Structure 1
């Protein structure tokens, strides 16, 4: 049960932070007296600390829905709602971003005390703000450079084809000279790093693939993330509540969770990483095309090469050619996809012919229950042909992180940096974050190679 809320208190004397906390008080945000916001003793610029011991299940703060910033609560909500059909995009973020463009640059904005916490977005250091050369050099093989290139292309297209024409139609509210592509890009990163999404009801049958539009949630976005978090945001019809999920000791930082997020996703979306050792949700992707290349290497003659091509053609009809197999520290997270790929790529000529004739598996040869077959504990027990494909696909993926070095060299070079405290301290913050991503993924792949070495 929550203790009696009280007026906000900040201990570092920051005027901007004090203005924000007073604004929170005015809009009805209720803060438990056992916690306080601070810029000291936290892992990032802002954070929340426990002033007293907190029990599991205590409400740390409550935010009324009227204090959330989204396209429905902004001053320009009516025009955004009226022309919503012209603002549709693949991201679904354009209405919120237009609202933020307006509110961020309006001196009379109701949200000014909140948005002033990010006066120039200088704290945002997503890879999209690194040079392309730096991304490609530091993050090669991780999947981040490719994701960022796609992001930047989509942002430019969205701004030029949707946002800019809309602003030109409403010169009384937006000005392209003020609301530039550069500001728009920073606001995209801001939404990436700080927004929340309303969870969908499990029985919501209305377009399950469509995600809820993002919301800016003042106070909740002050909390930092770790995978081993101690608080969680709950949504109710009238408010949002941050609730402790375990006991929190006096002086301990209060951590929210952004979900089960790997380090490459944390860096891409939020601009930071956890230690690869402490991030229990870290993953490495193996492209399904690497399984195909591994199968090609296994083929000893032209007829076997042709058979691999036939298998691959069938597999591409069943799953995306550019799909990936996702592995965590505990095993494969895409069990059914990996099972299908291995099964098809190992079919004999007779089995493949039968598969084609039946347009799929025979009923008595249907999908087995392999939910545990690809766990770390079970990988070494797979049949040899499957282990060989996984081993070589993992090796090919690992080799994509370098320029012809051996897999051992690729791992040991980063391991030396991780274990040499003096060398690690000499790295820039970007280099440290990139190293955490690279090494975490490499260790998963290298372990996978060890377990499937036959």
Structure 2
């Protein structure tokens, strides 16, 4: 007897086929719950590099453009940003039930999430001083839903609650708020940036678009493409945008029996947890620690007074930010300064510069050259790292001991209590961040000793750029 989980998968795949999707007979949508991965796409025959895995018509993408709501509330949707407009469309289509063309798709999407948005306060406290706690955005999401979306829904009852389904959806504001959070989390975890037929985005030499460019793109839910699990090391497929279809192709040969993986890009595990509700050791290589502007200012002010004109000048040049990333250390031959935000180094050297030197740079419209870090800058950076580490309430050794005690708790398994799974993930995140701080402190101590001998550490010349975890490769 086919269980309900598999039955929904079968109906979904049949719906795709009836929607003019092209699906290779070499792949299947498989139940991977025993591997703690929900659904996933698996190869059942050998697949060659560049081979088509499936193609989804653009008309089958769950998007603002394709929903009937875009006709009913066109001007309203145009006034909303891509995230808010898609959430509204998702609410509309979900509440239509069987009347929505995407009903089989909704049936295979998750109804519960393990993302930080849904963690209790005591669970979030296990993240300690991780900067990710300030990026969850629960309060902002609540305000968006209550102040913008609920009035739109209530003012358009006829559109959102047709007479034939009103009896099933007499939702209170609390019900609507919970449903809006569910749709928003679904989009966070599964939606794609839907690139237009003619791509006008600017990308850098590595093929990355800026965060601002990506935020402006329409968002859409791409059936089946979002069923692929992600893996930083085993990524073997990518979604491509064509005129009438979105195609998923193999990036390398895939053997029969192998799972097909997409890739989220270089996300630290803290962001993986925030956005998708899980972590994996494969993403440890992208871990970062964020150092706040406030902690930098405190370290500088302990050494000297900050002239009032410095920060406004640096802000005009894009140097001032709320936080700065320090990324994973330990790569062979890697200069540690290459793993520290160049904006942070410029900020430190500018704030420490003698008034006359800063005035000279300002007159020329220039910034400090951080190809070399001064001895004073090294010591200041060392103090910043130590102060940042002190914000955590336990040591890394204590965390490792705690993790050892939790070693028998599977992160994803349904049999493990949810709270224990969350605690384990939080401990792993903070261990990764503390490891970065420890390694950075150790190297900076050696640098400070060398600086005392009149030696300065040089860094490879590199222009300030967006941190790696804020960039995305465009297809």
Alignment of 1:217-296 (within 5 A): 217-228=222-233, 229-275=235-281, 278-296=283-301
Aligned residues: 408
Aligned to 1:25: 17
Alignment of 1:119-138 (within 5 A): 121-122=111-112, 124-135=113-124, 137-138=125-126
- Of the structure 1 ranges 23-32 and 323-332, higher mean CA displacement relative to structure 2 is found in 323-332
> For the residues of structure 1 that align with 2:70 and 2:38, how far apart are their CA atoms?
31
Question: Which structure's relative contact order is higher, taking Cα pairs within 8 Å and 6+ residues apart?
Answer: 2
When residues 420 and 83 of structure 1 are mapped into structure 2, their CA distance, relative to the original with a 3 A threshold, is: closer
RMSD: 3.0
> For the residues of structure 2 that align with 1:401 and 1:283, how far apart are their CA atoms?
15
Tell me whether 1:52 sits opposite 2:45 in the alignment.
Answer: yes
Aligned to 2:194: 198
Aligned to 2:400, what secondary structure does the other structure show?
Answer: helix
Tell me whether 1:414 sits opposite 2:390 in the alignment.
Answer: no
Tell me whether 1:306 sits opposite 2:320 in the alignment.
Answer: no
Question: Over residues 282-337 of structure 1, what are the superposed CA-to-partner deviations in whole Å (9 max), with x where a residue is unaligned?
Answer: 2221123322222233x2xxxxx335777567655655755222122255566441
> For the residues of structure 1 that align with 2:359 and 2:369, how far apart are their CA atoms?
20
Alignment of 1:51-450 (within 5 A): 51-85=44-78, 87-89=79-81, 92-106=82-96, 107-118=98-109, 121-122=111-112, 124-135=113-124, 137-148=125-136, 151-175=137-161, 177-178=170-171, 180-199=176-195, 200-203=199-202, 208=213, 211-228=216-233, 229-275=235-281, 278-297=283-302, 299=303, 305-307=304-306, 315=314, 318-319=317-318, 322-330=321-329, 332=338, 335-355=341-361, 358=363, 360-361=365-366, 368=369, 370=371, 382-402=373-393, 410-418=395-403, 422=407, 428-450=420-442
> For the residues of structure 1 that align with 2:146 and 2:261, how far apart are their CA atoms?
38
When residues 312 and 17 of structure 1 are mapped into structure 2, their CA distance, relative to the original with a 3 A threshold, is: same
When residues 82 and 338 of structure 1 are mapped into structure 2, their CA distance, relative to the original with a 3 A threshold, is: closer
TM, length-normalised to structure 1? 0.81
1:21 deviates by 0.7
- Of the structure 1 ranges 241-250 and 265-274, higher mean CA displacement relative to structure 2 is found in 241-250
TM, length-normalised to structure 2? 0.77
Is the 2:382–2:444 Cα contact (8 Å) retained in structure 1?
yes
- Of the structure 1 ranges 325-334 and 253-262, higher mean CA displacement relative to structure 2 is found in 325-334
- Of the structure 1 ranges 194-203 and 94-103, higher mean CA displacement relative to structure 2 is found in 194-203
When residues 328 and 42 of structure 1 are mapped into structure 2, their CA distance, relative to the original with a 3 A threshold, is: same
Aligned to 1:36, what secondary structure does the other structure show?
Answer: strand
Q: List gaps (5 residues or longer) in structure 1.
A: 1-9, 300-304, 374-381
Question: Over residues 141-160 of structure 1, what are the superposed CA-to-partner deviations in whole Å (9 max), with x where a residue is unaligned?
Answer: 11222222xx2222222222
